[in-house]
Amino acid sequence: MKKLFGTDGIRGVANRHPMTPEMAVAIGKAIAACFKTDSSSRVVIGKDTRISGDMLECGLAAGLCAMGADVCLCGVLPTPGVAAIAAKLGACAGIVVSASHNPYADNGIKVFDGNGFKLSESAEQELEERILKESQRGPHSNAHAVGRCDAIMDALDYYGNFLVNAVPDLSLDGLRLVLDCSHGATFQAAPDVFSRLGAEIVVLSDKPDGVNINAGCGSQHPEALRKAVVKHKAHAGFAFDGDGDRVIAVDETGRVLTGDQALAVCAVHMKQAGRLEGSRVVATVMSNMGLKIALKKQGIRLFLAQVGDRHVMEMMKSEGAVLGGEDSGHTLFLDRHTTGDGILTALQLIEAMRSASKPLSELAGIMSVFPQILINVPVCEKPDIETVAGIRDTVGQVETRLGDEGRVLIRYSGTQPLCRVMVEGPSQKETRTFAEEIAEKVRVTIGKA
């Protein structure tokens, strides 16, 4: 049972365990010990814009250098950019200091291997054990085995070129687009890429101050984006999360697309373009029931993985799929990149629009979204749901009443003390009633006082 890693790295409140400078040093040492080889001692580090990023970046760099690793600092760069640069440089690992869509007071540490992929479950377990050992160990005394720390001055340029080269035949001439950068890691990269490809852009939330990341903006709060798309008569809008590995799209009418709808649009486009290997797509158990129905009509088979982009990627590899994603807006194009990339996803959606000569609203119409209610309940503990009789019985009763017209899914957040209650049903009213019924049972049983 892992103590530090959740579904997407290590996260917590900055300056509280485990997001302390002391732990950052230990994590840096552990990463060097686990990944440094005779042929590669480089480790790439990037970060988002939150104020605690500098503190943790410095701790990680110190720990890495203390173990003889050479550190390459990218500065503020989207998570997928760090993965791409780590692979380009032949690094032994890549690290991102970010808590993604969480509030600024949180921070986190994500780790990639030298090929730009998220760590496997076993590799993560091994790294965690090493971190815990390093956090208890005294200082090292080998003065000759000390690494260097250098800045990569052209990290943004390289990442921008990487994205442009990923869509070699795409032109955005004649398109007006709105970008919400969440005051996060995409605030420079996204406007640069879309401008270089010829789009007329309107940019929101691109002035980070260390504490405004994700604050009422970005992928979690697309309201301002919706209004801006309608106001500026834009062809589409895109809201990124804090570290830029996810995106939520808004069509030309101001309607917010779900991540599943975006995945369906990309799947159909890729199949028509001959890119959808085996006509297979991977999503998660949280995906809307409408996705499977829509893809089936297109002759595309859907596979369901556990929540988390790493689990999606693992199933993509095992099933031979090149496209996968989560309803949260995290989409993976294995024929283009090794990890989820919000900017790349937006470009793929525009490519679909250009190829079909249709607006995004029409493309998204291939999928009917079943009414879905998700309620996050703060909890004080995370016992196996099946062992909590009150919750288990309530879920069973709701499932019986739904029959074949819906489903219930309950899971704990891997990064926060939350129990996620998700219900899909025949109508919005009934679905909300069922979800609130289960959520209330969770509150009175294991909820925070």
Residues in the chain: 449
Give CA–CA dist 110/82, Å, rounded.
10
Of 100, 135, 219, 287, the catalytic one is: 100
Per residue in 259-282, pLDDT tens?
A: 999 999 999 999 999 999 999 999
Per residue in 141-188, pLDDT tens?
A: 566 689 999 999 999 999 999 999 999 999 999 999 999 999 999 999
Report helix, strand or coil for 163. helix
Q: Stretch 207-231: mean pLDDT, rounded?
A: 98
Quick one: pLDDT at residue 2? 72
Residues 6+ apart with CB under 8 A from 292: 302
* Domain 372-446 falls under CATH 3.30.310.50: yes
Give CA–CA dist 84/350, Å, rounded.
22
Quick one: pLDDT at residue 261? 98
Q: Is the pLDDT of residue 126 over 80?
A: yes
Asked if 158-250 and 372-446 have one fold, the answer is no
Quick one: pLDDT at residue 413? 87
pLDDT tier for residue 135 given thresholds of 50, 70 and 90 = confident
Residues 6+ apart with CB under 8 A from 138: none
Domain definitions of the chain by residue range:
5-152, 158-250, 259-364, 372-446
Looking up tokens 């950019």, which residue turns up?
81
Question: Which tokens sit at 13?
Answer: 């409140």
Question: 154, 211 in Cβ contact below 8 A?
Answer: no
pLDDT tier for residue 3 given thresholds of 50, 70 and 90 = confident
Residues 6+ apart with CB under 8 A from 286: 307, 326, 327, 409, 411, 422
Quick one: pLDDT at residue 1? 58
Q: Is the pLDDT of residue 345 over 90?
A: yes
Residues 6+ apart with CB under 8 A from 56: 14, 19, 21, 24, 47, 97, 107, 109
Residues 6+ apart with CB under 8 A from 105: 13, 14, 52
63: buried, middle or exposed (CB in 10 Å: 19+, 13-18, 0-12)? Answer: buried
Question: Which tokens sit at 286?
Answer: 């949280």
Superfamily of domain 259-364, CATH level 4? Alpha-D-Glucose-1,6-Bisphosphate, subunit A, domain 3 (3.40.120.10)
Q: What single string gives the DSSP state of each residue in 200-230?
A: EEEEES----SS-TTSS-GGG-THHHHHHHH
Quick one: pLDDT at residue 308? 87
Question: 155, 179 in Cβ contact below 8 A?
Answer: no
Q: Is the pLDDT of residue 6 over 90?
A: no
Residue 64: name the closest of 107, 98, 26, 109 by CA.
26
Give CA–CA dist 275/268, Å, rounded.
10
CA angle 293–297–300, rounded 5-degree value = 90
Give CA–CA dist 75/215, Å, rounded.
21
Q: What sections of 149-284 are H helices per DSSP?
A: 155-166, 189-196, 223-231, 259-272
Residues 6+ apart with CB under 8 A from 376: 413, 418, 419, 420, 421
Average pLDDT of the residues of the chain: 95
Phi, psi of 418 (to 5 degrees): -130, 145
Name which CATH class applies to 5-152: alpha beta
Question: Which tokens sit at 417?
Answer: 């003390």
pTM: 0.90
Per residue in 304-338, pLDDT tens?
A: 999 888 899 999 999 999 999 999 999 999 999 99
Q: What single string gives the DSSP state of each residue in 147-188?
A: --EEE-TTHHHHHHHHHHHHSTT---TT-EEEEE-TTSTTTT
Residues 6+ apart with CB under 8 A from 86: 44, 93, 94, 112, 114, 115, 116
Q: Stretch 63-79: mean pLDDT, rounded?
A: 97
* Domain 158-250 falls under CATH 3.40.120.10: yes
Question: Which tokens sit at 306?
Answer: 């556990």
Active site residue 100: yes
